[in-house]
Structure 1
């Protein structure tokens, strides 16, 4: 059985190196993963199968991010199941050579080597920029023009 520290490190290294098909196996069958800072407020991921889909869905664009976790600091808490991990994904976009850094803080509950709960605080603007999706994110954030009744 992996410690919370070991499970976290397997996750962030797996996000960088793959295989992505195996990442959902780090989570309990029933879990609760949220991204509280995501500007589009996606629903929580609540099962291993939802996480498998999350990790294996193709990226929105054909871009390759060569990245690694850096500046990793793991804080243990009074609860042996809970850790707070500060780190950043840092790397380069393979196609352009552009450097990027995506700061993150994860608050995780890991029981018997499996993630049962995680609040993943990620800089989603930096992530969208790295993936070449900043314009798409900004468009999604803009209020949609409503259909106006012009007969009045």
Structure 2
């Protein structure tokens, strides 16, 4: 059974593999299955800093769909976790995972700071609050104009 630290690190590494692309459709499907398997069948994942609302992800299937929407990006030359630290808490099920996604897309470097507060039970995430710099993500992936339009609407 995975520890909470192993679990959060495995999820971040899986996201990086997915985002780097170069996967066949079968490999991408397997990667999505692997990512979703780190979550309990019934879970509660939220993104409180989401700029367009925070619909909770309450099941493994919802998480698989969520990761699928992020999917492979064309032009990603590098996508990795850097400056990662796992902070234990007095509750052995809960860890705080502080890190940055860093990469290169179409020749442009980017960094996306993140802090995840995660509860892992029996090797599966049962609850997570993912604090992500969504503006940095939109800037990195060329989605800033669309985000600005959606915010103005």
TM-score by shorter chain over 0.5:
yes
Instruction: Judge conservation of contact 2:84–2:98 (CA < 8 Å) in 1.
Output: yes
Q: Distance in 2 between matches of 1:54 and 1:28?
A: 15
- Secondary structure of the equivalent of 1:14? helix
Deviates more, 1:26-35 or 1:14-23: 14-23
* Distance across 2 between alignment mates of 1:61 and 1:114: 27
Q: CA deviation at 1:56?
A: 1.4
Match of 1:4 in 2: 4
Q: Which runs of 5+ in 1 are unaligned?
A: 145-152
Question: Unpaired runs of 5+ in structure 2?
Answer: 19-30
2:53 aligned with 1:49: no
Matches of 2:8 and 2:143 in 1, distance apart?
Answer: 27
In the other structure, the counterpart of 2:28 is none
CA distance in 2, matches of 1:128, 1:21: 25
TM-score if structure 2 supplies the norm length? Answer: 0.87
- The aligned counterpart of 2:115 is 105
> How big is each residue's C-alpha offset from its partner over 1:45-91, in whole Å with a ceiling of 9 and x where there is no partner?
00001011111136597553621000001100100000001100001
Shift in alpha-carbon separation, 1:132–1:121, aligned structure 2, 3 A: same
Which structure has the bigger radius of gyration?
1
Higher helix share: 2
Return the alpha-carbon distance in structure 2 between the equivalents of residues 38 and 58 of structure 1.
14
Alignment of 1:19-34 (within 5 A): 19-34=31-46
SS of the equivalent of 1:57 reads helix
- In structure 2, the partner of 1:136 is 146
- Count of paired positions: 141
- What's the C-alpha RMSD, in Å, of the aligned pairs? 1.6
